[in-house]
Amino acid sequence: MKKYPYLVDPWSYASSKLGFERAFEIIAGDEHVVKLALKRINLALEGGLPDEISASTEEEVFSFWLSLLSLKVASSVYLLNRIVDAEVERAARFLEGEDDLISVARALGIRVEGKSISFPWVVVKGKVTYRVLDIAVPVGDFLRYASSSRLEELRLVNNFVKGGYVFLERRRLVKLLVEASRRFILESLRVVEAPETPVFERLVEEVRELEVREASGLREELLPECIKQIISRSLARKLSDEEVYVLLSFLSSVGAPREYVSSLIARMGLVDEGKAVVIAESLAKIKGYTPFKCEELKAKGICDCEEDLVKEYISRVRRHQGRRRA
């Protein structure tokens, strides 16, 4: 539970710990736990979550849920997605070393079986080496989580399918569980009820203020060179549809302020100011669109880059923040 707090229903868990119904309301009124929730959010925004926020399993579980529920109540789509990303990255580290992946998979609702299959893989000096896959996942369960993934390793065509099962090695099962964890968190968040206490409500207000501070913190000087080039070209000529997509999907992915995006759209002459505001508002609510990969950008003649544009920007911001803290 401590490693994967999203697998725990906070209301049931609180009731089992305190021995009465709606005990989560009491937890949500505890200043210490609520401060841990805010700390969790700030750590995620500053550079990622450590393996341990608190030595207590209870505090780990409750701070996780209070942090996400506060973002949900605050309708902070931008921050919520960033925090979920950080929580999934943290969970991924634990999954890499997890001894009982099958139990985690089943807790996520994935039917996993310990079936093995082997087949000839490579021939070295006349000797055949067999590849052994000892984890089987029903095709439907696999597609439920893998279909939305951008990872080549999780495409059905790149995996061994037989008798209605996808056979996986440990490494690919971990990647599937990471994808499943993200979806599980977001789906659980839709149904988990937020508590109603003055302390929790103050947390919601702090989250709203934090979103304003974060949104206004886009650092243009830290933008990847590719994005700077596209913005520069937009002032001299009309951008191609692909250039517009790269620029807007990048700005959406890094949570650029709506005002910045709408101003840029209008300045590029794509639409008038009124429509630019509507587009920026819509972009802020949509997640999942990402810029092309570097090899695609080079092939299309848009720009040269060596690293995923979003990751490059985040890396630059983190290095900048690290220098400031030092």
User: Tokens 């707090």 belong to which residue?
Assistant: 5
- Please report, for residues 54, 66, 197, the alpha-carbon distance to residue 60 in angstroms, rounded to integers and kept in the order given: 6, 10, 20
pTM above 0.75, yes or no: no
pLDDT band at 183 (very low <50, low <70, confident <90, very high): very high
User: Tokens 């700077």 belong to which residue?
Assistant: 228
- pLDDT tens profile 250-264: 888 887 877 788 888
Residue 69 has pLDDT above 80, yes or no: yes
Of the chain, the percentage scoring pLDDT greater than 90 comes to 46
Confidence at residue 221, expressed as pLDDT on a 0 to 100 scale: 78
- pLDDT tens profile 12-53: 999 999 998 899 999 999 999 999 999 999 999 887 899 988
Rounded Cα distance, 89 and 84, in Å: 9
Residue 68 has pLDDT above 90, yes or no: yes
| Contact in structure between 107 and 77 (CB atoms under 8 Å) | no
Rounded Cα distance, 160 and 140, in Å: 14
Of 183, 213, 297, which Cα lies nearest the Cα of 250? Answer: 297
Confidence at residue 233, expressed as pLDDT on a 0 to 100 scale: 86
Residue 122 has pLDDT above 70, yes or no: no
pLDDT band at 188 (very low <50, low <70, confident <90, very high): very high
Confidence at residue 256, expressed as pLDDT on a 0 to 100 scale: 80
Copy the structure tokens of residue 253. Answer: 């992915």
Of the chain, the percentage scoring pLDDT greater than 70 comes to 92
- pLDDT tens profile 261-313: 888 888 778 788 788 888 888 877 665 566 788 889 989 999 888 888 888 88
The number of angstroms, rounded, from the C-alpha of 212 to the middle of its chain's C-alpha atoms is: 20
